[in-house]
Amino acid sequence: MRYSRLKMNIPIQMEILRDATGDDQKGMRYLSYIYLENSTKSFGKIADAIQTGDPKALQLAAHGCAGSSASFGAETLSDLLHELEKMGREASLTSAPLKLAECWKEFSRVVVYLKHLFPPKTS
C-alpha cells in the first residue's frame, strides 16, 4: 500500500498523538509501541470473554481498549469497541463475534498505518 492511499484514509487522528507528545517523533514511536502492545493484549481478553460467554469481562476489556483507542486518536476503532462494550453490559453476546471481526479489521488498519509511520528500527 502506498503512502498516498494511506494518507487519504488515515485510521488515526494524528493531531491527538502529536498533542500528546509535543510532536516528538521518539515520543510518538514509543506511545505507538505501547498502544499496539496493550491493545493486542486487550483484544485477547475480549476474544476470551466472547469465547467463554462472559459479558462482564467483555464489557471491561472492551471499555478499556475503547478508551485507550480514543485517547490515541483511533476513533473508528473506539466506536466499534464501544459497541462491544454495550453488548457486554447488556449481556447480549450473539453478534459479538461479528463485531469483534470488525474491530480486528479496523485495528489491522491502525497497525499497518503505525508501522508505516514508525517502522521497526534495524540494527
At residue 52, the pLDDT reads: 98
Domain that holds residue 55: 3-117
Please count the structural domains in the chain. 1
pLDDT class of 120 with cuts at 50, 70, 90: confident
Is 66 inside a domain boundary?
A: yes
Residue 23 to residue 13: CA distance in whole angstroms: 13
pLDDT band at 2 (very low <50, low <70, confident <90, very high): very low
CATH number for 78: 1.20.120.160
Q: Is residue 96 part of a domain?
A: yes
| Distance from C-alpha of 42 to C-alpha of 72, rounded to nearest angstrom | 15
pLDDT band at 68, cuts 50/70/90?
very high
Question: Distance between CA 101 and CA 53 in Å, rounded?
Answer: 16
| Residue 123 reports pLDDT greater than 70 | no
> Which residues contact residue 26 at a Cβ distance below 8 angstroms, ignoring those fewer than 6 apart?
none
Mean pLDDT of 24-28: 91
Say which residues have a Cβ less than 8 Å from residue 123's Cβ, sequence separation at least 6.
none
Q: Is the pLDDT of residue 28 over 80?
A: yes
Residue 122 in any domain: the answer is no
Q: Is residue 39 part of a domain?
A: yes
Residue 5 has pLDDT above 50, yes or no: no
Q: Per the domain annotation, does 123 fall within a domain? A: no
Q: How far apart are the first and last CA of the chain?
A: 25
Q: Judge whether residue 92 has pLDDT over 90.
A: yes
pTM, two decimals, is 0.87
CA dihedral over 111, 73, 16, 3, signed as positive or negative: positive
Instruction: Tell me, yes or no, whether 62 lies in a domain.
Output: yes
pLDDT of residue 12: 92
